[in-house]
Each structure stands twice: as structure tokens, then as C-alpha cells.
Amino acid sequence: MNINNELLEKYHLNTCTSEERKQVEEWLFNTNVDEWDTTGFTGDKEVLKNEMWQEIVVDIPPFAKPLPTRTKLYFMWKGAIAATLLIVMLAGLSYFCFKQTNVQPEASISLINTSSHQVKHVDEQGYSASVGPNTAAKINSEDGAIDLKGSILISPKRDITIAQGLHQSTVLKKGQTYVILKNSIGKSGVIVISEKNLLDMPPVMQQQINTQFGI
Amino acid sequence: MALFAFGVGCKSNTDKAAKYSLYILAKDGKEYLLTHNTLDSGVLKPEANGVLLDSKDMDRDVFAKDNFFYHLNRKTGLFSKFFIHSGQLKTDGALLLKDFSIDNFSWISQDTLLLTGFNLSGYNHAKYKLIKINNMQMIAEGDIELPPPSGEFTTQSIGFVEKRADRLFIGYTYHASQGISNYLSSDTFYVAEMAYPAMKRIKVEKDTRSTYPGGPNTIQSYGFSNQQKDYYFMSCPGIALGNRPEIPTGIFRIKANENHLDQDYFFNISATLKNHAYGVWYLGGDQAIIRAERKDLYKDLNDHYSTAHFEFYIINLKTKSAKKLHLPLDKGTRRECVIVEGDTAYISVNSTKDGNFIWLYDIKTGSLKKGLQLAGDTDFIMRIDRLNP
């Protein structure tokens, strides 16, 4: 088989036939030199071979870099950063979810009337109320706990929850009127009753409530 | 007279002929008056079928007779007669009753109404108003000669008024106010015999077998005359009325031909039921229906009205026995909740679990079945009334 400069040039320019290409490649990567007539080739076979490898290397994509070895410290930092990001995300989420209750807490309701005869009237942003004589009332905005001495008549401008015992709570609905009394004759601490249910109270107590609050 | 705020009712002109009225308290605190021709079946929604009431003018201490309603506005003192027409309340007449609070009403005749009660300014001065209702004219008014409260007692209440020819029997007792949220009643009740219409006291009887005789009958019934004209009334010392729970609830009698309490008759309800009761309705013969509380199901006054704990019993006045009706537990401390017609007792029940229904009790067979349902926004059926004979 002839290997000459012209054939190698054609191979180099990728213009040879497939048979010629096969012939050149067999010569290049075969160590038995006697099978080929190389009289038409004036160059150095090894130099040519290297040049051809160079071209091939340029054409194929570079090898993917091996993964660097991860240390324990690396994983620790990675976990810490992820956890921090999660906390930041949750905090952001809860800010929007609980904005009204946590970020802008309703003021607790605190009503005091030291007069022993007069009813005191108050009108606040969240409610209007008539505070009975000798009354001190506090409604905690967070848990609805009520501390009451005396009596109040209250009309909430937004819903107010009052906790009564461990598992019981009463919602004072916006726009309605409620009477809240220290429960003198019962087991629970206070009596909370809508003005609409006042006729369910004992008549004598109703008279006392009506007379005091003028309702 | 623009007394009432007229609601968004959508009823027809047939209102006047309707047989029944129902007073509803809705879940949102609104109140409605509905009229309807049957309690046997069907579904009504107050927000769709009722007249929305103005809470400034109206409350459920409203009573009905011959297609008209009667109500005293405690704040204005205006006692009004009204009817429903085309979904609106129309005033037919009104009277100004100054410084007056009604404890009891009694129909003296077809068109004569006797109101008894006290001064609003102190509840310690008994008064009466005798009114011709056709034209809402005052026939007579004045004081009732009841001994006023004295000693530890500060106020007084009338629980029943029974008229016999030229006599009135008035049951009453005394109370000691202890601040806004506490009070006690005397352990004794009294029955005054009065000359009518002079309203002069003839005598007063004391009885210590119970206290708080009857109650405000504008809210609920506590007495009746049976077919023999014997008058029966229930005493109510429980926490919802007398607040002397250690004293028994009982039923007492004034015989038709006698002018004093029957000392030999006492039906001890508390001993029979182990509970207090409030309210009694006559079924005919020796039978009546009573509404009793369940002290094991409520805690105290705070949840007495909102917890479903009331049971209905058929009692026999002669044998002094009681039989429980198998109805859902009912809520609402005091309600005019029974109408008796022939062999049927219509019983309104506000059940937390099963909804608000009129139940039909067959007096002859003892059977019970569901009738009209009050659905939609209904929270309490506060009263049911028969509007015409």
C-alpha cells in the first residue's frame, strides 16, 4: 500500500475516500512498517501522528473536571447556610401570615371606673363601652383572658374573643352588644351575655342590668 | 306612627289570616317575626320569610291575640298594638304607660286586657293598667294594694294573676338585690285576694312550701285553669328565676270554688325529676307539659341559656307523676314554646345538634313527630303563638 505526501494531504483536508482514510489510519497506528510503501512520504511518521492527535484533542470537548473532595467542615457550613435560608424564608412567610396578630398586636382592653354610682362611657377605636360603678376590667388581647370586678356593657367594632375556662371561649361579635358581669352566684368567673339574650337572665338581674346601664 | 323599622320581608297580603307566629333570634343577632298557616310541616327561613325587627322597638316579650301583637317598649313607655301586613309591622294603636314594667298580662274579657307590674324606677310599687284594646283606651289604672318590700327586701315581682268573678288572686314574692349580678328571693311566696275592679286587698296568704310563684307570662306560661276551672301554677325557685335552688319547684292549686290556696295539694316537681323546671302548659284532662332543666349539663347562669339542656315532661296533675318526652335537648332559658290544639301539642325545640323544629306530640297516643323546620339563620325559636281561635 502506498503512503505518500499527496494522500496524507488529502487525509488532512478530509477529502480522501473512506478506503484511503482506512489505509492512512492503519499505517499510522500500525507498527509493522513493511506492509506499506512509504517512498512517497518525506516526513516523520511520529511527528505526523502527534500532530494528528493534537487536532483530535482540539475537536473533542475537554474532559469533565473530577469532583473535588468534600470535607466534613464543608458539609457543616453547607447545612448551616441552608438552615439559615430556611429560617429567613419561614420568618418572611410568617410575617405575612401573622402580620395582624403578631406584628401589630391589638391593644388589650383595660376599663376602670372608680365612681361608686355613675356609669362611665368610653369610645375607643375597637369598641365602645359603658363601665359600671366600681369596675375594673381587663381583657388580654393575646389569649382573651378576662379579669373583671364589676360589670361592663360593650359593643365591639371588631370581633373580640373572651376565654372562659380552659376550653371555652366566647366571641363578642362586631356590631352586637354584650353585658359582662362578675358571676357572683355561679361556678364560672364571668357571665357574658348578648343583649339579645338578656331576657333569658333572671328578671331580677335584668332589672338590675337595665337600671344600671339604661338599656 | 313610625314606630318600627320595616324589614326586608317578602310576605303576601295573607298575613292577617295566618294562624301562627314565630319569633326568631338569628345567629347574627337579628330578630324576625314570621307568620305561617301550619306548624305541621315545611321549612321556613327567617331571613327570607320573616319581618326583620328593629331591636330598639321590639323584644320577645310580645304577646298575641286575634291577629294582633302587643308589646311595651320599656324605654319609651309606649304600649303598642300592631299587626303584620305585606311584610311590615303596622301599628294599630298605642298607649303611653309611664314608669311601668309588665310582670303579667291577663285577658279579662275578649277586648279587656289587665296589665300588672311595677314601677320601672324601683320595682317596689305594684301597679295595674286596665285597657280596652279595641281602641287602646285606658279604662282604669292605679296601685295594687300589695304590701311593699321591707327589711332586707328591695324589690317585688308578680308571678300570676287569676281572675274569678269579682276577685283577683295575685301571686307574688320579694327579692333582695345584691349589686348588679346577684340577688336572692324570699323563701316564701304570697297570694293576695283582691276585690275586682276596686283592686282593694281582701287578704294575703303566705306559703313556705316553695317560692317565686309563676313568672313573667309575657315570656313564658306558668299557670292555667283546667276544665273544671281549678287554677294551677308552677313555682320557680331555680337559678333562672327565684335563685333559691335549695327550695323545690312545685305545682300548686286554687280550686274553682275556693278563695284560697289548696293546702292539701302540692306536686313536688324537684323531688320527682331531681331538677328544677320553668314553664307549664295544659294539655287537657289531668295532663300538662312542663319544661325542666338538667343541672348536670350546664355550669351556671353563664351557659344556662346557650347550652341545650332542657327536657319536656308530660305530667299527671292527679297522680303527680312525670313521663319524659323523647325530644332532643332544648336550649333557651325561658321561651313560650308550646301551643296546644285539640289532640296535638306543638312543641318548639332548639337543638344544637338536630336543628330548630316544631315537634308534634299526639296527646292521645303519646307519639312524637317532626313538623315545621326553622332553617337558614335561625339560632333560637324564641316563642310561638296562635294568632286566632
Grade residue B189 by pLDDT with cuts at 50, 70 and 90.
very high
Asked if A183 and B185 come within 8 Å (Cβ–Cβ), the reply is: no
Residue ranges making up the domain that contains A167: 109-213
Beta strands in B241-386 (DSSP E): 250-254, 267-268, 277-284, 287-292, 311-316, 321-324, 338-341, 344-351, 355-362, 368-374, 378-386
> What is the average per-residue pLDDT within B157-184?
95
Q: Which of A57-71, A105-119, A201-215, B201-215 has the lowest mean pLDDT?
A: A57-71
pLDDT reading at B333 higher than 90: yes
ipTM for the assembly: 0.89
Residue A143 lies in a domain: yes
Please, which residues 123-152 of chain A have a Cβ atom closer than 8 Å to chain B? Answer: 132, 150-151
Residues whose CB falls within 8 Å of the CB of residue A159, separated by 6 or more in sequence, listed in order: A171, A172, A173, A174
Interface membership of B178 toward A (CB under 8 Å): yes
Whether the CB-CB separation of B146 and B171 falls below 8 Å is answered with: no
Average of per-residue pLDDT across B64-81:
96
Judged by CB atoms closer than 8 Å, whether chains meet at A151 and B181 is answered as yes
Domain membership of residue A101 (yes or no) is: no
Q: Is residue A96 part of a domain?
A: no
Residue A103, helix vs strand vs coil: helix
Dist. CA B150–CA A71, nearest whole Å: 94
How confident is residue B11, by pLDDT bands cut at 50, 70 and 90? very low
Domain end call among A59, A76, A94? A59
**Main-chain phi, psi angles of B318, to 5 degrees:** -85, -50
**Percentage of residues in chain B with pLDDT exceeding 70?**
96
| Mean pLDDT confidence for B23-44 | 96
In-domain check, residue A83 = no
Inspect the interface and report whether the beta carbons of B179 and A191 lie closer than 8 Å. no
Chain A contact for B61 (CB, 8 A cutoff): yes
What pLDDT does residue A74 have? 67
pLDDT band at B10 (very low <50, low <70, confident <90, very high): very low
Reply yes or no on whether the pLDDT at B346 is more than 60: yes
Residue A90 within any structural domain of the chain? no
Reduced DSSP (H G I as helix, E B as strand, rest coil) percent helix, strand, coil of chain A, to 5: 40, 25, 35
Q: How many domains does chain A have?
A: 2
Q: With contacts defined as CB-CB under 8 Å, which chain B residues touch A195?
A: 55
pLDDT of B3 strictly over 50: no
**Cβ–Cβ below 8 Å for A197 and B175:** no
User: How confident is residue A186, by pLDDT bands cut at 50, 70 and 90?
Assistant: low
Which of A188, A99, A210, A85 lies closest to B301, judged by CA? A188
Pick the closest to residue B293 from B234, B213, B379, B363 (CA basis): B234
CB contact under 8 A, B183 and A203: no
Count of C-beta atoms within a 10 Å radius of residue B183? 22
Q: Which residues of A touch B155 (CB under 8 A)?
A: 204, 207
* pLDDT band of A22, cuts 50, 70, 90: confident
- Contact call for A194 and B179, based on CB within 8 A: no
Q: Where are the domains of chain B?
A: 97-208
Question: Per-residue pLDDT tens for A86-118?
Answer: 777 777 666 655 555 444 556 789 999 999 889
Residue A89, pLDDT score: 76
pTM of the predicted protein model: 0.79
Q: Is residue A100 one of the residues assigned to a domain?
A: no
Q: Cβ contacts (< 8 Å) between B124 and chain A: which residues?
A: none
Provide Rg for chain A, Cα atoms: 47
What does the alpha-carbon distance between residue B347 and residue B384 come to, in Å, rounded to a whole number?
A: 9
- In this structure, are A47 and A113 located in the same domain? no
| pLDDT more than 90, % of chain B | 91
What is the structure's pLDDT at A51? 67
Could you tell me if B30 and B377 are in contact, meaning their C-beta atoms sit under 8 angstroms apart?
yes
Per-residue confidence (pLDDT) for residue A98, from 0 to 100: 56
pLDDT at B289 over 50: yes
Q: Are residues A122 and A206 in the same domain?
A: yes
DSSP character string of B139-176: EEEEE--PPPP-TT--EEEEEEEEEETTEEEEEEEEEE
Q: Which residue in B157, B243, B302 is closest to A188 by CB distance?
A: B302
- Residue of B156, B181, B307, B381 to mutate for A, most A C-beta atoms under 10 A: B181
- Flag the least confident range among A13-22, A33-42, B88-97, B108-117: A33-42
**Does the structure show a pLDDT above 50 at B7?**
no
CB A146 within 8 A of CB A130: no
Residue ending a domain, choose from A43, A59, A75: A59
Listed in sequence order, the residues at least 6 apart from A88 whose beta carbon sits closer than 8 Å to its beta carbon are none
Residue A75 falls within a domain, yes or no?
Answer: no
